[in-house]
Structure 1
């Protein structure tokens, strides 16, 4: 089995876990989202510490937070990812899973636009068209429903801001996320202490709830580890295209399993977003092929072939 094929399997597994995770959080609808988030943080930290300890990389988590700049970046990233996690859990539990799926469809297009604004990255004409179609879709949904899709925009915005922060770190995703949940863990512990002190905590109330809350840790950590494995073996274009499996599964869970309403305005918006993603993917693949051709040309030139 080739390394690229292993990466492909890992990426599909990653997006499948992310896409179907809404079923897991929906089954915890009787647990307040803040308590679920707190358990997700604590058990993720436990899982990451075990993994990093086994790999003898635990000191890397501490080193990642050394220096004011690094600590500030990780702190802001922690704020963004915790907001994203909370919003996703709340949206699934409260019947807004369709909007959550829309948010993760919009995310790559918003990330491209933020890259242009913050890092002055150049956008190809097809990418500009993709961003415009996404903006049109969100605008039409706002007009049709009489209110902006705040859940979708919050998820896309927080995850895009999180991505911007991660781009400025020189550590791997597993180490950086471990540092993030470490920073968040005191707040999570305070939330859990308060909920159990008031008698409202669900941990220990039943075997099912206890096991599911513990499993929120591996459910967070395992796909991140798989994603890190896949990212080193796949081209960015391939990884980007496969990532759309996540919101697609979320969308089908929302409509088919949770029976959430799907209006005509939703369908028009999703159609525009899907067209935008098709254009963006075509442009990304074209750029990736051109980049690989240039690398091969340079390599051939260096060996005297041309």
Structure 2
């Protein structure tokens, strides 16, 4: 009964993790609907507000959760502080380009950046970390390169927005892997690095009369302030999902965000999709199908190998135990050796 209860609790926990994951990637996929609501604010002003309000929101969350011990530990590690500064710059570049792309009618091209991000991450692993790829991964990378070439011909130039978004986010992921701190803590540290420059920029905008915060009504003020929630809430859901569902499931869920963005770009923002773009996107999707199939097959093979090794170890342990028990039983049942009593020594005469 206890085992059944534990299994049921595990299934419920995994189902909750799946919902958290869908919520996280769903929010990231639907965020293109939010940025146009902040106009007439420009991309730089929106980015600055996002930095300031994200830090405020995350700081409150960390205070409520009483998670402050990581701050002095981080301060004592200069190398990690440097990596956080690099992460802050790369994610601000990613955020800024993404906001600008959405508000200038490039939602489809932005979605392409997140479609090819896993492929760029693999390529960076080969170039920077000297990782070895399986044949299917090489195939996916070459198909992705062909897709970029097709799209470059279609656009008349390389898809710069997609490439900037993909490479900046892949670099961010690479740096984050080396930082290795919690999601909320990392976001707090990264936004803290750029808090003063962002706040200074907003003050300068206000002093020059160019700021939209406060001049477009309370509704727009509230929307700009809510950029902190829009940034942190998906991250919280992602963190809750990451500890409940397998990594392979998260790997599949990550495609929800660019799929939503792509669909929004065509159906809601009515962006053009000429045949050459369809051809380029189709090649990217083919590369992702190959990559996903290879990842799932490798995960299944690794799991089977782990189960086989576990079973062999258990069988070997059982055999050893049985052998030891049999030996002990044989020793217990063996007749004890009969020994002759030692001859008694004659008593010496009493000296008295």
TM-score (norm 2): 0.84
Alignment of 1:225-304 (within 5 A): 225-304=236-315
1:25-64 per-residue CA deviation (whole Å, 9 max, x = no partner) reads 1222321111101111111101111111111112314533
Alignment of 1:91-130 (within 5 A): 91-130=101-140
Matched, 1:11 2:21: yes
1:247-273 per-residue CA deviation (whole Å, 9 max, x = no partner) reads 000011111111111121111111011
For 2:39 and 2:102, the matched residues in 1 are separated by 8
For 2:56 and 2:38, the matched residues in 1 are separated by 21
Contact 1:33 1:89 in 2 (8 A): yes
For 1:301 and 1:277, the matched residues in 2 are separated by 36
- RMSD, matched Cα: 1.4
Q: 1:29 to 1:97 in 2, by over 3 A?
A: farther
Q: 1:48 aligns with which of 58, 69, 75?
A: 58
1:226-265 per-residue CA deviation (whole Å, 9 max, x = no partner) reads 1111112222221111110000000111111111111211
For 2:201, the equivalent position in structure 1 comes to 191
For 1:268 and 1:121, the matched residues in 2 are separated by 30
1:166-224 per-residue CA deviation (whole Å, 9 max, x = no partner) reads 11112122211210001110111011101111112122221111111011101100111
For 1:266 and 1:30, the matched residues in 2 are separated by 30
Q: 1:179 to 1:282 in 2, by over 3 A?
A: same
For 1:182, the equivalent position in structure 2 comes to 192
Alignment of 1:28-67 (within 5 A): 28-67=38-77
Larger radius of gyration: 2
TM-score (norm 1): 0.96
1:118-153 per-residue CA deviation (whole Å, 9 max, x = no partner) reads 222222211111111111011111122211110000
For 1:19 and 1:269, the matched residues in 2 are separated by 21
For 1:176 and 1:120, the matched residues in 2 are separated by 26
Q: What is the number of equivalent residue pairs in this alignment?
A: 306
Query: Alpha-carbon deviation of 1:80?
Result: 0.3
Q: 1:130 to 1:83 in 2, by over 3 A?
A: same
For 1:62 and 1:136, the matched residues in 2 are separated by 48
For 2:224 and 2:76, the matched residues in 1 are separated by 31
For 1:218, the equivalent position in structure 2 comes to 229
Contact 1:103 1:152 in 2 (8 A): yes
Q: 1:137 to 1:176 in 2, by over 3 A?
A: same
5+ residue gaps, structure 1, are none
For 2:167 and 2:271, the matched residues in 1 are separated by 23
For 2:98, the equivalent position in structure 1 comes to 88
For 1:289 and 1:121, the matched residues in 2 are separated by 21
Alignment of 1:130-169 (within 5 A): 130-169=140-179
